[in-house]
Structure 1
């Protein structure tokens, strides 16, 4: 039996800015329906931005559980950081708090809807 991760569903009170952010960050294609936006990008499962009018951002790392987060391995951390911020990500950890070792060198962000994710050096 094989089990594969085919998609990740992300709730957003406002799907348009959330899907635009992920589409700009990851590339690929964006397909919209009235309740879901689908981002298909190389190297990641389909991201589904689901309309959830009551969604509120988790308060993390200084509060409630983050619920879940996504980690992305990148070949150029500085370039990925610039793209993330220019696309609308918020930083949760300053860039000078990053160590060069991949296991400690992640940068932590939030998407426009407040979902945390990390960028870390590939390797």
Structure 2
């Protein structure tokens, strides 16, 4: 058996908001396949799907409704991480958990996209 495509699909009540958010953050474009499905394309490749789920229950990490999926994005150095933070918050992400120590060589903050899907922005030391 040969798998032709591998796709992460997010459910969302407002697929326009979620598609626009992820395309904006990933530097991609949205291809709308009707009003129930959108595809996010990055560098000519199919990167992510967003499916209409009118009854979607927003995850309430960490104590409420369980998260259904999450992404971790790693950046080398705080400067790149700061730029990612500005980008996602400018696109509508909510900060769920701030880091305890921005001076640490490695760290993480947890955010949510417009539909409440949690994701992490992480920093690691810059490569020499």
> SS at the partner of 2:17?
helix
Check whether the contact 2:58–2:65 (CA below 8 A) recurs between aligned residues: no
Structure showing greater radius of gyration is 2
Q: Tell me, yes or no, if the aligned pair for 1:8 and 1:45 is still in contact at 8 Å.
A: no
Where structure 1 has 5 or more consecutive residues not aligned to the other structure, the ranges are none
TM-score (ref. length: structure 2): 0.81
SS in 1 for 2:48: strand
Deviation, structure 1 residue 6: 1.8
**Do the aligned partners of residues 4 and 122 (structure 1) sit closer, same or farther apart at CA in structure 2, a change above 3 Å counting?**
farther
Q: Does 1:22 align with 2:13?
A: no
Q: Secondary structure at the match of 2:120?
A: strand
Render the CA deviation track for 1:80-120: whole Å, top value 9, x for unaligned: 00001001100001255556333xx1110000000000011
Deviating beyond 6 angstroms after TM superposition, the runs of 4 or more aligned structure 1 residues are 1-5
3-state SS, counterpart of residue 87 of structure 2? helix
Distance 1:8 1:77 in 2: 24
TM-score w.r.t. the length of structure 1 is 0.84
What is the Cα deviation at residue 18 of structure 1? 0.7
After TM superposition, give the deviation of residue 8 of structure 1 in Å.
Answer: 0.5
Give the match for residue 110 of structure 1: 112
